Chain A
Amino acid sequence: MSIKYTIDGVEVIAEPSDTILTSATKAGIDIPTLCFDARTAIYGACGVCLVEVEGVPKLLRACSAKPQKGYVVHLHTPRVDRARQTALELLLSDHTGDCRGPCKLNCPAMTDCQKYVGEIREGRYKDAVSTVYEAFPLPASIGRVCPHPCEDACRRKMVEEPISIAFLKAFAADKIEADGNPYVVQCEPETGKRVAIIGGGPAGLTAAYFLRRYGHEVTIFDQQPKMGGMLRYGIPEYRLPKAVLDREIQIIADAGVKMVNGVKLGRDVQFDALRSEYDAVLLALGAWKSMNMRVPGEDLAGVHGGIDFLEKLGLGERPVLGERVAVCGGGNTAMDCCRTAVRLGAKEVYVVYRRTRAEMPAADIEIEEAEEEGVTFKFLTNPIEFYGEDGHVTGMKLQIMELGEPDASGRRRPVPVEGATEDIPIDDVLMAIGQGADCEGVDAELLTQRATIACDELTFRTAYDNVFAAGDVTNRGAGIAIQAIAEAQKAALCINNYLEGDEVRAQIPYFVQREVTPEEFEDRPKQKREKMPGLTPEERRDNFEPIYFGFTEEQAQREASRCLECGCHDYYDCRLIRFANSFDVHPEKFAGEMHDREDVPVVSEVIVHDPDKCVLCGLCYRTCDQVVGKTFLGLYNRGFSTVVNPMVPDEARTFCASCLKCVEACPTGAMRSFPAVERVTQLV
C-alpha cells in the first residue's frame, strides 16, 4: 500500500518498494546522489543524498531509507548541508584533473575553445559557431582581432606552439556564412521588459544579444553613424574588414535588437529619460579619449591622439600625415597607428616605447608584421618634449631609459639614464599610451574619481538600481575587446536576473584544475601550427586590404587536430562538478595529500580508467557485476589508497565485450571510452 509523506513541504507518494530517493524522483524532486543507480543494488557510499527527517535522530541516506507515513523530510538543513558539502569537498580535495581546459579558463568570456576546436576538427562548423555564441556574438570579428589569452594559456605550446584558436573561430564563422548557412539567434518568448543600451561596441552588442535571447526588448543607442564601436572605429580595415563586422552585427539586428545610431548621450538623449522609459539601462560607452602624455609641446599641431586618428579613418576620412611619423606607446592601438601610418604613405615610422620589446603589451604578431612593414622601433626611449615651428611639430626629444627594479605589475620599471637624450625630426606624432572614458551625460553620482563609471564587480550594477555598466567605461578601465565582451555577457545575466526579480550576482563557477609540466608532453609527436596565409609585406604596405586570407578547410582541420583536449571529456555529464557548483564548495580547506596515478587501461584502446578522477562510487564494478554479470572490475586496497582496478590480468580481459556499461554508469570522467558514450543515470 502506498504511503504519503512530505519533502520540503511537497507531498510525495511512495510505494512499498520505494526509497525516499526513488519516490522523490517520481515526484520530480531532485535529490543529489553520485553512487545510486536503480539498475544496481543500493550501495550508499557517496553520502551526498543525505536528508534529515523530523524526529529521526540520524541523517538518512535517501537512496536506501524507506519513507514512513507522515515523514517530514528536509533536503536542506544546516546538518544536511554540512554533511553533503563536506562529502563533495572531500571528494574534490583528492580529485585531480582539468574540468575545463586552460584555454577556456583563460578566456575572459569563458568561451569553450576546446569544444569548438573539436567541432571544427570534426567538420561540425555550425556547431562550433553555436558554441562560440554561447559565450558571445561576433565570432568572425573577434576571431580576427582578439589578442587571444586562450592561446597564451594553451598547453600545446609545451609541445611546440599553441593551437591557433582565434583564427579557427573566425574560420568556422566565415565558413558557415560562405556556405549560406549563417547562425540565427534563438530567442526566448517576449518578456515585455525593455532595456536601453548606450554604446554599440563589443560590450553593447554582446549585452544586446544576450538580453534579446532572454526575450527582452533591446535598443542600442550609439553616437557613431554605425554600430561596432572600437571594432569599427578603432581597428583598421586591414585587420578587420568592415563587411565581416557588418554581417555579424546584422545577425544581432535580425534577432530583433533595435539599433539607433547618431545619438549621443547628454546631447540627443537624456540619461534620466532613458532610466524612466526603460526597465533597465546598460552603459557601455567605451573609452574614446586618447590619454595625454603631459609633455611640453603636446598642443602643437601634428600631435594627434592615436584613437582619434583611427576613428577618423573609420569614418572614411583619409588623414594626411607627413613623411616622418612617431607613434608613442607599445600596445595594440600603437601597432594599429603605426601600420596605418605606413599605409597612408609615411616614409619613416617610429614606435617610441620606454621599455623593451619583451615588455610590449601588443601581440607579438602585430609587432612582427609592423617590423616587416618597415616600422622602426625605438625601445627604451621616452618623449620628454615636442618642439616645432609655426605651431607645428618638427621634432621630439627622447629620454634614453634603462630597466630598473620590477614594479607592481611585475614588469621592470624603466628609469631614465641621466643626461642621455636623443632628438629625432618628425612631422606627426600619434599618442597611443592609453584611453579614457568620456562619460558626458551620465550623472556624476555614478562616476569614479577617474571619471569612469563605478559598478560592482559581480553585479555590474551602478549606484542606481536599474542602471548597469560594462566594458571599457567601467572602473576597471580600458582593456581588450574580449574583456569588455565578458563583462557584457555577465552584466546581461545580471540585468536579466534583475528583470526577473532574482538575485543579481553573477556566479564564479568552481572548476578543478591541475598543474602540468612540459615533461608530461614529451612523447607527443610534434606538429607545427598552421601558418595563416596572407599578403606579403610588400603587397600589404600601401593599402588597407585584409592581410589574412583565412585558413583553408584542410588547414583548419589539421590545426584543430593538434588540440590536446586538456579539459575533461565528461564535463557536461559530470555529476560531481554539477553538485560542486550547486553547493558552493571550498575544497581548498581540506588541502592535503592528493593522488597522482597513471591511467589504467581496462580494455586497451577502448576503456581507460583515471583513478584520480574516480569518486569510488563503485558504479563501474557494480554494473559489471550486477548488470552485465561479469566481474572485470573491483576494488583494491583500503582507506585513502582504495582504487578501482581490473580484477583480471590483461589476457583475461579480452573476454570483456567492451559493452561500455561501466563507462555509461560513471558519474564523473573517471571511466573513459573510445569512442565516447553518453552517460546514463537511472534514478528509478
Chain B
Amino acid sequence: MRLVVGEGSCGLAAGAGAVHTRLEALLAEANPTGVELGITGCNGMCFLEPIVDLYDDEGALHRLVKVQEKDADKIYQAVTTGDLSLVDGLCISSEDAEFLSRQTRIALRDCGVIDPESIDDYIAHGGYQAISKILSTGMTPEDVIAEIDVSGLAGRGGAGFSTAFKWRAARNADPGEDGRKYLICNADEGDPGAFMDRAVIEGDPHALIEGMLVGAYAIGAAEAIVYVRAEYPLAIVRLRKAIADATERGYLGDNILGSDFSCTLRIKAGAGAFVCGEETALIESLEGKRGMPRLKPPFPAQAGYWHQPSNINNVETYANVAWIIVNGGAAFAAMGTENSKGTKVFALSGKIRRGGLVEIPMGTTLREVIFDIGGGIRDNKEFKAVQLGGPSGGCLPASKLDTVIDYRELGATGAIMGSGGMVVMDESTCMVGMARFFLDFTAKESCGKCVHCRLGTKRMLEILDRIVNGKGEEGDIEKLEDLCYAIKDGALCGLGQTAPNPVLTTIRYFRDELEAHIAEHSCPAGECRELITYYIDQDKCIGCTACARQCPAKAISGERKSPHKIDPALCIKCGNCKTACRFGAVQVK
C-alpha cells in the first residue's frame, strides 16, 4: 500500500502538512511493512484539498479528499489492517471525480501523480525520454523545431504566438561576436487567479527542465534561466532540487548524455513586479535593471538578454514540449481546433462549485469547462459572467458560454485566452466593480514608463471609482471608451495595451449595469457599498439576534424573537449581518 499526500502550496495551505506529519509519526511508530508514504504535487482539485491518494496493493487508486489531521488515524488503520472500508467516508464522490476524468492532461500529465522531489519518479514516468531521443537519434535542432511546428504549439503565457516561429527566429539569429544565446522561462505568473505555472513547477519540475533543454538545444543556447516570482518559495525549492538532481544525473551541464550539447540552468527570483511577466521587462530585470519594458522590435529573438538572441516561453509552454517530442507533433495537433492545437490549462476559480486546475483540449466550450467540469455555480445561484485572461482579459456573459476555447474565437469576444485564469461570477458580483478591481490592479502594477499606461489607467480608475461611488456623470462611458482605445494604441507593452480589456468588455456586455450606476446611482448586483442599503425583511426575520451580534456598528436593534431593524445612519455596509442571517431576511436594495 502506498499513501501519497498532495503537497502543492494549495494542499499545504489546506493542511496537508499536518496530515503528512501525523501519518509519518504513526507509520514511524509502528513501522508496518508494505506501507509507503510519499508526496506529490497538486492534481488540480483545489476544492478537495488536502488530498491523500491511497494506492492499494493491486495498485488501484482510492482518492481520499478533504482529509484532516484527525483523519490520519483512520487512514493508518485502513492501510495497516487492509480494511479500506474504514476510509469510505473520505473517498471522492463519483461526481467530483468527473473533475479529473473529463480532462486531457499533457502539461499537467504528471502533476499530482509523481513525487516532484524525485528525479527517479520522473524518469520512471517516462521522463527525460525526449532529450534522450533527440540526442541519441541525432535529431538536429531544425528537426526539433519542425516537430514543434507540426504540433502547432503556441505560447501559453497569453499571446499565443507560435512557439516554433520564435524558436526558429532565435535559432537563425546571429549571436555576433559574443556567440551566446539564451533560453529563458517566464515563471513570473502574476495574473490574479492563475496558478498553473506554480502547479507545474511544484508538481513536475523536471518536465519544465526537460522542455527547456529541448528548447535550448533547438535554438543553440548553452545557458537557460528560469525567472520565477519570489512569492513561489516552494516552487523555487523544488526546482532548485530538480536542477541539482538533473545536473548530477548528467541531464544538465556539459556534454549532456555524452553528447556535444551542453546547457546550464539557473533560477532568478523576481522581486514581485507584475510587469516583469512582460518578456522585455523580464529581460531588463534579469539584467539587474528596473523592470520596465523595452520597445519591440527588436524582439528578444534578435536582441534579448544582454542584447543576445534569446527565447522566452512560459512554464506551461515548456511543459508540453517533452510530450510532443516523445509522442510526435501530430499527436498534439490532433487535439484542438484549426487555429489552436493541443490542450490548455485553466485555473478555475470564483463562485464555482469545483475550483482548481483544469486541462482540456482546445475547442472545448466555456460551458463544458464551467458546468461539466466545474460543476456550475455554487450555492444554487445564477451564472453571470466568466472572467478570462485576468487584467488583460475580459468578462463574458452567459450568451457567450458556447464560445469554444480557441485563441481566435476568444479574441473575437473581446476577452483573451490569456495565461488561463478563469474566474466565474454569479449574480451577486457587480461587473463595474469587477472592471474597477482589474483596473486598480493594472494601475498599481504599471511600471510608470509610458504615458498611456501610467496616467491613462489612473484616469480610467478615477472615472470607475466615481461611478461605483454613485458620482458617475453622463458621458463617462464614452470618455472611458475613448481612453481605452487611445491606451490600446499608445501603450508601450502588453500590460498597457490590454489593460482596457476588462473595461471594454464590461461596456460591451454589461452596459446596462454601468448605466444604472451612472444614471440611477444604483448597483443592480447590490455590491457597490456607496449605492446600496441593507434592510431586514420583517416577514422573514425571526428575531434570532444573530445579525445584531455580528454588527460591528451596533446598527441593528430589536427584541429577541421579534423582527429586527437596521439603522441606515449607523450601518457601515460591511455585510456581516447578511452573512450571519440563516433565513435570508437581511437584504440589499
Contacts and interface: CB of A to CB of B under 8 A. Distances in A.
Interface in A567-609: 589-590, 592-593
B450 interface: yes
Contact of B452 (A66, A79, A90): A90
B155 interface: no
A513 interface: no
Contact of B489 (A82, A616, A638, A640): A82
A64 interface: yes
Interface band, chain A: 35 or more
B133 interface: no
A50 B486 CA distance: 11
B263 to A, nearest CB: 30
Contact of A639 (B448, B462, B482, B492): B448
A238 B43 CA distance: 99
Interface stretch (A41-49, A200-208, A214-222, A289-297): A41-49
Nearest to A589: B479
Contacts of B446: 638-640
A50 B491 CA distance: 10
A643 to B, nearest CB: 8
Contacts of B490: 47, 50, 59, 83-84, 86-87
A93 B448 contact: no
B60 interface: no
Interface in A317-347: none
A94 B462 CA distance: 13
B361 interface: no
Contact of A638 (B295, B445, B456, B491): B445
Interface string B487-501: 101111000000000
A642 interface: yes
B452 A93 contact: no
Given A589-B479, A593-B462, A638-B445, A46 B489 contact: no
A497 to B, nearest CB: 32
A58 B482 CA distance: 17
B278 to A, nearest CB: 13
A46 B453 CA distance: 10
A59 B290 CA distance: 26
A42 to B, nearest CB: 6
Nearest to A92: B455
Contacts of A48: 451
B297 to A, nearest CB: 7
A398 interface: no
A639 B446 CA distance: 5
B455 A94 contact: yes
B180 to A, nearest CB: 21
B459 interface: yes
Contacts of B445: 638-639
B449 interface: yes
B489 A641 contact: no
A615 interface: yes
A637 interface: yes
Interface string B19-40: 0000000000000000000000
B119 interface: no
Interface residues of B, number: 33
A388 interface: no
B106 to A, nearest CB: 32
A640 B443 contact: yes
Given A64-B295, A592-B458, A87 B452 contact: yes
B478 to A, nearest CB: 11
B458 A640 contact: yes
Contact of B448 (A43, A59, A635): A635
A672 interface: no
Contacts of B369: none
Contact of A640 (B297, B450, B454, B491): B454
Interface string B300-321: 0000000000000000000000
A91 interface: yes
A416 interface: no
B491 A47 contact: yes
A61 B456 CA distance: 18
B462 A592 contact: yes
B234 interface: no
B459 A638 contact: no
B483 interface: yes
A73 B489 CA distance: 16
A590 B290 CA distance: 28
A64 B449 CA distance: 15
A477 to B, nearest CB: 37
Given A59-B490, A639-B444, A83 B452 contact: yes
Contacts of B14: none
A634 interface: yes
A298 to B, nearest CB: 55
A58 B489 contact: yes
B492 A47 contact: yes
Contact of B483 (A79, A86, A637): A86
Interface string A68-97: 000000000001001111110011011000
A589 to B, nearest CB: 7
Given A43-B295, A616-B454, A642-B454, A82 B459 contact: no
B489 A93 contact: no
A58 B294 CA distance: 17
B489 A64 contact: no
B295 A639 contact: no
Contacts of B295: 42-44, 61, 63-64
A271 to B, nearest CB: 48
A23 B492 CA distance: 22
A82 B485 contact: yes
B185 interface: no
Nearest to A85: B486
B239 interface: no
B114 interface: no
Interface in A601-649: 615-616, 618, 634-635, 637-642
A50 B489 contact: yes
A277 to B, nearest CB: 51
A45 B295 CA distance: 9
3 A-B pairs with least C-beta separation: A642-B448, A86-B486, A90-B455
Given A50-B489, A91-B455, 16 more contacts: A44-B492, A45-B449, A46-B451, A47-B450, A79-B485, A79-B489, A83-B490, A93-B459, A94-B455, A589-B479, A616-B449, A635-B448, A638-B273, A639-B458, A640-B455, A642-B447
22 contacts: A44-B295, A45-B449, A45-B450, A47-B451, A50-B490, A65-B297, A82-B482, A82-B489, A86-B452, A86-B482, A90-B459, A91-B451, A589-B479, A590-B455, A592-B458, A592-B459, A592-B462, A593-B458, A639-B446, A642-B447, A642-B449, A642-B454
Interface of A: 42-48, 50, 58-59, 61, 63-66, 79, 82-87, 90-91, 93-94, 589-590, 592-593, 615-616, 618, 634-635, 637-642
Interface of B: 273, 290, 292, 294-295, 297, 443-452, 454-459, 462, 479, 482-483, 485-487, 489-492
